[in-house]
Structure 1
Amino acid sequence: MGETPRHAVVTGGGSGIGLAIARALLDAGHAVTIMGRDQAKLEAALPDARAIMCDVADPADVERAFAAAVVASGPVAILVNNAGVAPSAPFARTSTADWRQCLDVNLMGAVHAIQQVIGPMQVLDGGRIINIASTAALKGYAYVTAYTASKHALLGLTRSLALENSGDKLTINAICPGFADTDIIRTSVARIVAKTGRSEAEALATFTAANPQQRLIDPDEVAGTVLWLVSDAARSVTGQAIAIAGGEVM
């Protein structure tokens, strides 16, 4: 399946890990649709991909976006659920709205997208669903309880769906990166520097300290894992949580 060009959809494909994944799939010859909430940003990020604006938290909008993608590029054979949010606050100051946003985007956003593709995928000669989770799907982190809970739920979804579809030549996996070298982390580092007066290196250590390799994950490392998972070489890999975290979790 993976060696034949297919239609791939990447949510949250306009920046960071999602963009790296979309670019890698495009370079591998797949027809790529990227989805996000900012049409202009999507079009500028990867001009050779098809860009469709979509709010994954809105099931009606997801249905519209995927219908448009299928009309333009054919059935979706590869789905990468990458869209996500990560509000940070102590539990006592995490609002109900923060909880709802994490669950609506990080969990239900994937559910809505999967609902649009899983039926048609079952009649394809193989299909791939890849949920971009996080090491927060495998362990706890302080000050991001809502995010961590939503990523644990996303991993549970991955494992259950993999079992339900084990006889359909369809694989469903999760990739769990540690802190990655993205604009989100760089913005967080700048915010720590501004608030605390710590050096950039000291602020960056806030994110690299948990990684035994003492570095941020390169988004291209995640993209490379996606390319393997969509290839025929990974046709027996399903229901897995693949950590890309320098040994932070084992």
Structure 2
Amino acid sequence: MIRHAFITGASRGIGAAVARALAEDGWRLTLTGREAPTALAAELDAFAVAMDQTDADSVGAAFVAARLAQGPVMALVNNAGAVQTAPFGKTTPELWQRMLDVNLSGPFRCCHAALPDIVAAGAHGRIVNIASTAALKGYAYVSAYVAAKHGVLGLTRSLALELAKSGATANAVCPGYTETDIVREGIANVMSKTGRSEAEARAGFTQSNPQGRLVQPEEVASAVRWLCSAGAASVNGQAIAVCGGETT
């Protein structure tokens, strides 16, 4: 059986860790990013394609190319996303729409494009949406991002019910603050604005995690890996938090 996983935002961070984890399990991979992640694709013998998930035509073309290269899509991992901070009073309509386009409409477009293959795969079909603890609770100064991630979780739960009779599943993985470029940029931003040391700035990101640390991308990838396995066939419509106990 050909097992083909389509991973968005695979250039680095969580997406790259997911790609490596699924490659170890023998999946054929399509890796996407705004620029095709060719270096990682070469490392993993995968197919790389550029895709802008805010553009329906770009998404459609990427899925056509992926099927031609690797066969029908059995698993979709929606990982690509972005965050922009602002107090709610300074959240412009443009910022709001940008966060929805990337973080909610993007996964919608990919789910829509993958759906026929996922349903045809039956009990082997998997959709895993990388949400965030922001899908489970509120955070100040990122209201647009939080709203989008809450939407991703709602989309996941609704999809799970529609897919259930086919045997395919849809689940969300909800990481807390993770050691990724986005968080490192946030730490640098705090340092530049407040004059705090790196350790002090980092502490602001780790204090919400009862374990007192950042989540590692490989830990998130392990949850995705399991959800894509045969052993998770009865896990459907769930939000799995990988956050050290921040949400309980």
TM-score by length of 2: 0.96
Q: For 1:1-42, what per-residue CA distance to the aligned partner results, in whole angstroms no more than 9, with x for missing partners?
A: xxx651001001111111111111112211111111013xx1
Alpha-carbon separation, structure 2, partners of 1:5 and 1:242: 27
- Please, which of 9, 17, 28 is the counterpart of residue 12 of structure 1? 9
Residue pairs, 1:73-222, within 5 angstroms? 73-125=70-122, 126-222=124-220
Paired amino acid for 1:247:
G
Paired amino acid for 2:234:
S
Q: For 1:103-156, what per-residue CA distance to the aligned partner results, in whole angstroms no more than 9, with x for missing partners?
A: 111111111111111122212242000000000000000000000000000000
Alpha-carbon separation, structure 1, partners of 2:233 and 2:75: 13
Structure 2 unmatched ranges of 5 or more: none
Paired amino acid for 1:44:
A
Alpha-carbon separation, structure 2, partners of 1:49 and 1:102: 29
1:57 maps to 54
Alpha-carbon separation, structure 2, partners of 1:26 and 1:32: 7
Please give the root-mean-square deviation of Cα atoms over the aligned residues, in Å. Answer: 1.1
Bigger drift between 77-86 and 19-28 goes to: 19-28
Paired amino acid for 2:33:
G
Alpha-carbon separation, structure 2, partners of 1:206 and 1:154: 26
Alpha-carbon separation, structure 1, partners of 2:73 and 2:41: 19
Identity within the alignment, % = 52
Report the secondary structure of 2:85's partner residue.
Answer: coil
Aligned 8 A contact 2:2 2:71 in 1: no
Q: Shift in Å at residue 206 of structure 1?
A: 1.1
Paired amino acid for 1:183:
D
1:66 maps to 63
Q: For 1:182-240, what per-residue CA distance to the aligned partner results, in whole angstroms no more than 9, with x for missing partners?
A: 12211221222222221111100111010000100000001111111011110000000
Q: Shift in Å at residue 102 of structure 1?
A: 1.1
Bigger drift between 237-246 and 191-200 goes to: 191-200
Size of the aligned set, in residue pairs, is 245
Q: Is 2:38 aligned against 1:43?
A: yes
Alpha-carbon separation, structure 2, partners of 1:83 and 1:202: 28
TM-score by length of 1: 0.95
Shift in CA distance, 46/71, structure 1 to aligned 2, threshold 3 Å: closer
Paired amino acid for 2:156:
T
Structure 1 unmatched ranges of 5 or more: none
Alpha-carbon separation, structure 2, partners of 1:45 and 1:89: 33
Bigger drift between 123-132 and 191-200 goes to: 191-200
- Greater helix fraction, Structure 1 or Structure 2: 2
2:21 maps to 24
Alpha-carbon separation, structure 2, partners of 1:44 and 1:230: 24
